[in-house]
A and B are shown apart, each in its own frame.
Chain A
Amino acid sequence: MKKGLLVFMSMMLVMGVLAGCASSKEGAGSNAAKVEVNKEGFPIVDEKITLSLFAPNVGIAKWQDMKYFQEMEKRTNIAFNFNTPPNESFETQKNLLFASNELPDVFYAASLTNSDVTKYSEQGLLIPLDDLIDEYAPNVAAMLEKYPDIKKTITALDGHIYTLPTVNRTSPPWNIHPMWYNGDFLAALNVTELPTTTDELYDLLVRFKTEDPNGNGLPDEIPLTAAEMWDINQWFMGFFGVVARAVGTYDGEVKYGAIQPEYKEYLEYMNKLWKADLFDHEAFSQTGEQKGAKGKKNQVGLFANWGAGSFMGVEESDKHPMMQPVTGPNVSQPVIPISPGQSINQFAISNTNKNPEATMRWIDYSYSPEGSAFIKGLDEGDLWEFTDDTKTKRINLKDLGDKKGTMTPEYGINVPLWADEAYELSFANEYDVFVKNETAEKIVKYGQVAMPQLFLTAEELDQIAGINADLVAYVEQMEAKFITGAIPFSEWDKYVETANKIGVDKVVEVYQTAYDRYAAN
């Protein structure tokens, strides 16, 4: 029996290898031959073409049913075959497309990684866009001219541009949801000046705890809550001058945040809050919903969320101020990480695309003011309406729910576009203005991009491949243990030593090289 099995298995192996070699080279979906492109205006092509498009689906509607694509087809004469797997399996599907050689003509909102881009551009699977941008994409070209940092970021190691980003420089540049005070608590305690130092913050949190600011007579206040540390740590580390827990840049020098002495100060401070029961003892185990339930019961004084109102279950308003970053004892001012204002690698054209010029013109529309407004809000009456006769002010329709997700792909994913400032501002209500001002004063003033999105070479990636996963897990565990006191601070040196053993040096070295390469460009 054993012999039979062996023979059988080797037979299968041979068959498999043969099958692997013979794997066919067929392009999928694109049925269009090359056609003439109109250099200006609509339609883009006189003869209708159909391209295949690959994008993630958030599960609300089929893309072919969306008004956006139907309208765009009418205007441009470009139609699509959609391959839109669920967001959840999108990464896997992306790899399988490359593995089975059924490349789509267009990668849309596909969040390719920089290593994808390096790998596949080397193989010629993605085509360079530079010339196409110059010839067929005036809006993209204008965007790149306006923001040279974007051009620098999306230029691959070989000097070409293979992908386009989602650019949004008008929304608040939050890297993560900001922190807010419960305005009712502040009012109840007659707090008019927000704390500006870590010590003042401590005192305020003590008052939240002891002076019954929600007025229900019960000591049920939770001064500060979180659902796992990532929820709030970007802010609290920043108070002590640490811009990122992992690699970050400090005046051009790359450092690993979690082994710096400033980071230790952050841990000690959090530990102090923990010991005084000012920091929610369920912070490490509770779900986001449980955290939210505490907010809605008006128990929490300081928290992170996209908006204070939605956390507390009330209307968003200027009653609840954004947290004023506080300054640690050993820094002159805090640092708050901000978003670079773009999400890279959201659009690419593959080598199966027979009409890259037309495709480029099609996507360029999303980088124009009308085009980005159209994909974000379609026409008047669909999702919004004008509020004045001069047609400069817009307001969202009531009770939209998920409706936007049934009309346009720009819902829950980063679609390639350049957000237009005038359009965004036309929606601005009082609250938006409040948030914009708060952001300017409390985030942008102290803001820094922790690390630009860098292209790493294949060798560099390989060098840190095993290290990163272990390192992040180790640092995260130890952060929690130091804060909760499960491990005393006398173990700090041992912690740094272990982190070094896992490979902090290697990671810092690789990123320093890549950063220098980026900065020299």
Chain B
Amino acid sequence: MITKTRCKGLQLIENLHMYKHIGLVFKLVQRKNTQQQEIKEVGILGTYKEQLADPSVAKKKRKAYKRKMIIQNWQLYLFALPLIVYIIVFAYFPMYGIQIAFKDYNPVDGITGSPWVGFKHFERFFDSYYFWDLIKNTIGISLYSLIAGFPIPIILALALNEAKEGIFKKTVQTVTYAPHFISVVVMAGIIITFLTPSTGIINYIIQAFGFEPISFLTEPGWFKSVFVWSGIWQNTGWGTIIYLAALAGVDPEQHEAATIDGATRLQRIWHINLPAILPTIIILLILNVGSFLSVGFEKILLLQNALNMESSDVISTFVYRVGLVEGQYSFGAAVDIFNAVINATLLITVNYIARKKSEASLW
């Protein structure tokens, strides 16, 4: 494997040799992490920013600069073209369907022909007996998942990164990654089997320590923990992947330099590794918050029963239930819009904070 990496390096060097400034590239790469901030101010944008110092010419200059950049970077537009075509065709074109949230949709009249009913479906959602329970549970489960589930993959990734390459590391990595692929139906079955009071392994352990068995599945107070921790169990290894990739970009020389300066391992993780993956952490956090109300329904539905329902019923399971009783399209669309508004508001807020407090943000 080492030789392979080497080969690739050599090939890259050949490519780099094509350019005269190769020395500069190397220097910059080496200084990347420590002096990134400083360097960012120079360069192409630097001259542009200097010009902006004079506000009277700023607008004109900006336009001229933009035009120049567009011409100069025309290939970048080709890079983005497939994506733009894709989202226009598959995401924006069907968006006229949103209007069914304000209509009584029936298939015969179609989306455009169905009668308008204003906010009827929204009102029905808000007037539901369970509305506040749904909101409370959805927020509870989301918040719990975020607080408990978000940091763990980061910690595991950092820990894995400190382990020596070898069988042990690979085993931990592969084994923790494996449960991600268990389908929801089977996953729910396993959870129920493990937690059953009479025969479940978890309750055997609890009883072995001399405690009373716990009915995890029928005591409403336990539901959120069962849901969240089984999710963590299933997805932590999978969640480390992106951080491990980001950690692969950290220059070992920085660690060597820090070690010479007497930094402990913990200090090096804190001052070198964590900052290196911080942008990724922030972006993932923002994206997670942006799907705050969208708790998937399948696993909840499979673990739900009449006794834990007061703490397990969320917006998506409610929509599913209503959908079983009658045509769900308009009602479902109205709830989607409600979710989207809340999610988008949260995302914008978190992004705003991130932009103020750190360098990474969505825009």
In-complex A–B contact (CB below 8 Å): yes
B window 282-326: CB within 8 A of A:
305-307, 309-310, 313, 318, 321-322, 324-326
| A12 contacts the other chain (CB 8 A) | yes
B244-261: contact bitstring with A at CB < 8 Å (1 yes, 0 no)? 000000000000000000
Choose the segment among A432-440, A445-453, A472-480 that binds chain B (4+ C-beta atoms closer than 8 Å). A472-480
| A393 contacts the other chain (CB 8 A) | no
Q: Assess the A123–B111 pair: CB atoms within 8 A.
A: no
| B106 contacts the other chain (CB 8 A) | yes
Q: Which residue of A lies closest to B305 (CB)?
A: A284
A477 and B108 CA atoms in complex are apart in Å by 37
Q: Which residue of B lies closest to A100 (CB)?
A: B107
Q: How far is the CB of B318 from chain A (nearest CB, A)?
A: 8
Q: Assess the B193–A290 pair: CB atoms within 8 A.
A: yes
A window 324-367: CB within 8 A of B:
none
Cβ-defined partner of A229 (8 Å) among B127, B215, B306, B326? B306
Cβ-defined partner of A473 (8 Å) among B92, B106, B218, B313? B313
With contacts A20-B110, A23-B110, A477-B306 taken as known, whether A285 is within 8 angstroms of B129 at the C-beta atoms is no
B189: A residues at CB distance < 8 A: 287, 289
Q: Which residue of A lies closest to B216 (CB)?
A: A285
With contacts A229-B306, A461-B326, A473-B313 taken as known, whether A120 is within 8 angstroms of B196 at the C-beta atoms is no
A476 and B321 CA atoms in complex are apart in Å by 13
| A47 contacts the other chain (CB 8 A) | no
Q: Assess the B192–A470 pair: CB atoms within 8 A.
A: no
Q: Assess the A473–B112 pair: CB atoms within 8 A.
A: no
Instruction: Classify the interface of chain B: helix, strand, loop or mixed.
Output: helix
| A486 contacts the other chain (CB 8 A) | yes
A95 and B328 CA atoms in complex are apart in Å by 10
B305: A residues at CB distance < 8 A: 228, 284-285, 480
Q: Assess the A19–B96 pair: CB atoms within 8 A.
A: yes
Size band of the A side of the interface?
35 or more
A479 and B309 CA atoms in complex are apart in Å by 12
Q: Assess the B110–A99 pair: CB atoms within 8 A.
A: yes
Which of A95, A289, A472 has the most chain B CB within a 10 Å cutoff?
A95
B322: A residues at CB distance < 8 A: 466, 469
A214: B residues at CB distance < 8 A: none
Which of A9, A99, A120, A228 has the most chain B CB within a 10 Å cutoff?
A99
A469: B residues at CB distance < 8 A: 318, 321-322, 324-325
A97 and B94 CA atoms in complex are apart in Å by 17
Q: Assess the A228–B321 pair: CB atoms within 8 A.
A: no
Q: Assess the B92–A285 pair: CB atoms within 8 A.
A: no
With contacts A125-B108, A461-B326 taken as known, whether A281 is within 8 angstroms of B197 at the C-beta atoms is yes
Which of B197, B306, B321, B326 has the most chain A CB within a 10 Å cutoff?
B306
| B267 contacts the other chain (CB 8 A) | no
| A282 contacts the other chain (CB 8 A) | yes
Which of B108, B129, B130, B326 has the most chain A CB within a 10 Å cutoff?
B129
Q: How far is the CB of A296 from chain B (nearest CB, A)?
A: 13
Q: Assess the A484–B196 pair: CB atoms within 8 A.
A: no
| B275 contacts the other chain (CB 8 A) | no
Cβ-defined partner of B124 (8 Å) among A15, A119, A466, A486? A466
Q: Which residue of A lies closest to B324 (CB)?
A: A469
A498 and B93 CA atoms in complex are apart in Å by 45
Which of B189, B218, B321 has the most chain A CB within a 10 Å cutoff?
B218
B127: A residues at CB distance < 8 A: 466
Q: Assess the A12–B95 pair: CB atoms within 8 A.
A: yes
| B230 contacts the other chain (CB 8 A) | no
Q: Assess the A473–B95 pair: CB atoms within 8 A.
A: no
Interface size on B, residues (CB 8 A): 41
Q: Assess the A285–B321 pair: CB atoms within 8 A.
A: no
| A112 contacts the other chain (CB 8 A) | no
| A152 contacts the other chain (CB 8 A) | no
Q: How far is the CB of A511 from chain B (nearest CB, A)?
A: 14
Q: Assess the B196–A290 pair: CB atoms within 8 A.
A: yes
Q: How far is the CB of B304 from chain A (nearest CB, A)?
A: 10
| A314 contacts the other chain (CB 8 A) | no
| A143 contacts the other chain (CB 8 A) | no
B311-346: contact bitstring with A at CB < 8 Å (1 yes, 0 no)? 001000010011011110100000000000000000
B112: A residues at CB distance < 8 A: 17, 20-21
A286 and B200 CA atoms in complex are apart in Å by 11
A229: B residues at CB distance < 8 A: 306
| B198 contacts the other chain (CB 8 A) | yes
A125: B residues at CB distance < 8 A: 108
Q: Which residue of B lies closest to A285 (CB)?
A: B217
A98: B residues at CB distance < 8 A: 107-108
A455 and B218 CA atoms in complex are apart in Å by 38
Q: Assess the B306–A228 pair: CB atoms within 8 A.
A: yes
Q: Assess the B128–A12 pair: CB atoms within 8 A.
A: no
Q: Assess the B96–A479 pair: CB atoms within 8 A.
A: no
A9: B residues at CB distance < 8 A: 92, 95
A481: B residues at CB distance < 8 A: 306-307
Cβ-defined partner of B93 (8 Å) among A12, A115, A466? A12
Cβ-defined partner of A468 (8 Å) among B108, B198, B313, B325? B325
A223-240: contact bitstring with B at CB < 8 Å (1 yes, 0 no)? 000001100000000000
| B151 contacts the other chain (CB 8 A) | no
Q: Assess the A287–B92 pair: CB atoms within 8 A.
A: no
With contacts A465-B124, A469-B322 taken as known, whether A477 is within 8 angstroms of B215 at the C-beta atoms is no
Q: Which residue of B lies closest to A287 (CB)?
A: B192
With contacts A95-B327, A125-B108, A229-B306 taken as known, whether A285 is within 8 angstroms of B218 at the C-beta atoms is yes
Q: How far is the CB of A505 from chain B (nearest CB, A)?
A: 15
Q: Which residue of B lies closest to A123 (CB)?
A: B108
Q: Assess the B96–A13 pair: CB atoms within 8 A.
A: yes
| A502 contacts the other chain (CB 8 A) | yes
| B9 contacts the other chain (CB 8 A) | no
| B97 contacts the other chain (CB 8 A) | yes
B128: A residues at CB distance < 8 A: 466, 470
A228 and B198 CA atoms in complex are apart in Å by 17
List 22 contacting pairs A-B, 8 Å CB cutoff, sorted by A: A9-B92, A12-B88, A12-B96, A16-B97, A17-B112, A19-B93, A95-B329, A115-B327, A120-B108, A281-B197, A282-B196, A284-B307, A285-B217, A287-B189, A290-B193, A466-B127, A470-B128, A474-B129, A477-B306, A477-B310, A480-B306, A481-B306
Top 3 nearest A-B pairs by Cβ distance?
Answer: A16-B96, A98-B107, A480-B306
Query: Which of A's residues lie within 8 Å of B, judged by CB?
Result: 8-9, 12-13, 15-17, 19-21, 23, 95-99, 115, 119-120, 123, 125, 228-229, 281-282, 284-287, 289-290, 461, 465-466, 468-470, 472-474, 476-477, 479-481, 484, 486, 498, 501-502
